Amino acid sequence: MKVFHDLQEWRRFKRTETLGFVPTMGALHDGHLSLIRRSQQENQRTLVSIFINPTQFNDPKDFQNYPQTLEQDLAKLQHIDYVLAPNAGQIYPHGYHYKVSEDKISNILEGAHRPGHFDGMLTVVLKLLNLARADRAYFGEKDFQQLQLVRGMAEDFFLDTEIVACPTVREADGLAMSSRNIRLQSREKAGLFPKLLKHPNARALLEEAGFEVDYIENWQGRTLGAVRLDNVRLIDNL
């Protein structure tokens, strides 16, 4: 494995093999590793980025509490080829003055509850895709709205990278794997979220079980939900 902390060093690096790319914010779990395995199956080389993007956090406390586990993450990535782990000053050399905005899908569901989140997400994903210059980039379906936005951006800006969707990876009780899960105090209760999300009366049942519900909505043939438990925000879709 070769780790790049300097973006200029990465940009000078020449490769000839097909490259798969998995962008992450670290705190890696089996969901991330499943994306990496898919990339390794479909490409000769794989690049993983680790960058906790400050511009997509609409809540400063959420950013401060987000787990930073770079050493543990690198230990899990010994079997892959390249890691890109830059700092915010390199990703935003001019600050956050230039950004990508989408004015339709970004305004519903997550966008309605997290103002500015998707601007930050799309901006950093465009930067990372341009840096990676990969043949394929892998995104999980757990963040279904994000996936649709990234696909649309890649098409509209004629990016050469193919956006590949991968199924949600779940814990034994059905809870979608997320880096935020490690902050849950009521972990057993959290497993009710995907179970109750299937129910026609999901909102009432979740609130009765002690969840704070942001939304439960049907969109593009799926039921999407976002809840809070122990001050941790969880999202899922079925």
Contact of 83 with 50, CB cutoff 8 Å:
yes
Backbone angles phi, psi at 105, to 5 degrees: -60, -30
Q: For the chain, first and last CA: distance in Å?
A: 36
Question: Catalytic one among 5, 32, 97, 117?
Answer: 32
- In terms of Cα–Cα distance, which of 53, 144, 129, 62 is closest to 91? 53
- Angle ∠(181,73,182) on CA atoms, nearest 5: 15
In sign, the C-alpha dihedral spanning 194, 236, 165, 78 is negative
Task: Decide if 32 is catalytic.
Answer: yes
Taking the CA of residue 163 as centre, how many other CA atoms within 13 Å lie in the half-sphere pointing to its CB?
22
| Residue 10, both tokens | 């990465």
| Residue 146, both tokens | 């994000």
Residue with tokens 């690198």: 74
- Angle ∠(84,131,143) on CA atoms, nearest 5: 75
Taking the CA of residue 89 as centre, how many other CA atoms within 13 Å lie in the half-sphere pointing to its CB?
2
| Residues with active-site annotation | 32
